Chains A and B, each alone.
Chain A
């Protein structure tokens, strides 16, 4: 399982967000360049239609592949009340011919994206990962060098943490508390619920840039 929230930020404020995250996390950012291929089962395959994502990490000299399956979100009154989405998620690293395997099994390309940005991984009541990335689409099949932004001037921020059915309430609490620190710059909410950009972002960013992120929280 994982806990996840998302938000968006204007590209002009990303540097301020990075300074804030650097101050909050106390770790260095890692560069992010991920080619994400979303596959769907062919029309006749499977009891129900299924979807799987292949992530190719292009940041390293030798690209590495991960298979990711995102399952259903936790439901019920308890899940409604919390501001974080809790969902099943399983990942597996795989060798480089994984796309060929899924094609051979009857999966078809649905869409592909290139995420370019940075990530912070740190421990703060949970093993939290924050990614800030621009989402790009390919004009030609797999042409990652010719990708263009889906939403120019806007970047996606995603906060995730692994969880289990035993500890997810603590993970949700840790994430919620962490997200409050980012509130001056962006709103974070469950995926699919767009809250737009934050009106205070420009002022908050200006303050952060002049402060240089020196304030520790």
Chain B
């Protein structure tokens, strides 16, 4: 499948994300002739263990995530970042997890927005919003290069596109920038040929960055 980079918006120190930034980023995509194609949505859920003895919580993973992706609607992905573990399963694995009553959903976040076509690239800009509120928690962007599935072979063209994109965005003097942090896929047992498991790992990485950003802002406030 085509390779993609998942990027997150890193606000400048002391600033936060806002709907206005999303609007301006959308305008940036349209200014470089991105053709709007429709909505997209991914959902990420943090799970926590249901324990009989809370004192033993340290024995269980704290970063257990589940992700559903629009590119694979019948699949579900589990990730434990601390153990560099990603699993692909059918969507019915969620029913199995509910029946086991050993882990429950702590919080769910939706990544949602519009999809654009730009030549051989497909762009998705999305807001990160908790499933039961309207509070904007972050901004993500997917850049997919349709002709290539190899991460290494696409690195140059993706890098060039990213530079161009940063230039377009920088003209608006927004308080922050998009960051691309490529996870070490090999640590997860993933190869150079891109799969949806790579996408799931990228979302988990982006989420860790968003949490770190929020924590940094809170630390400054306190």
Contacts and interface: CB of A to CB of B under 8 A. Distances in A.
Judge: A and B partners, yes or no: yes
Nearest to B76: A92
B81 to A, nearest CB: 11
A104 B85 CA distance: 9
Give the secondary structure class of B's interface.
Answer: mixed
A92 B101 contact: no
* Shortest Cβ-Cβ A-B pairs, 10 listed: A46-B102, A92-B93, A92-B90, A94-B89, A50-B100, A92-B92, A95-B88, A69-B96, A47-B101, A92-B89
Given A44-B52, A45-B49, A52-B96, A98 B101 contact: no
A47 B50 contact: yes
Interface residues of A, number: 26
Given A44-B59, A46-B101, A52-B100, A94 B49 contact: no
A215 interface: no
10 contacts: A46-B49, A47-B50, A47-B102, A50-B99, A50-B101, A67-B89, A94-B90, A97-B87, A104-B83, A105-B60
Contacts of A193: none
B217 to A, nearest CB: 31
- Among B50, B85, B96, B103, the most chain A Cβ lie within 10 Å of the Cβ of B96
Interface string A28-59: 00000000000001001111101010000000
A71 interface: yes
Contact of A104 (B61, B89, B101): B61
B148 interface: no
A77 interface: no
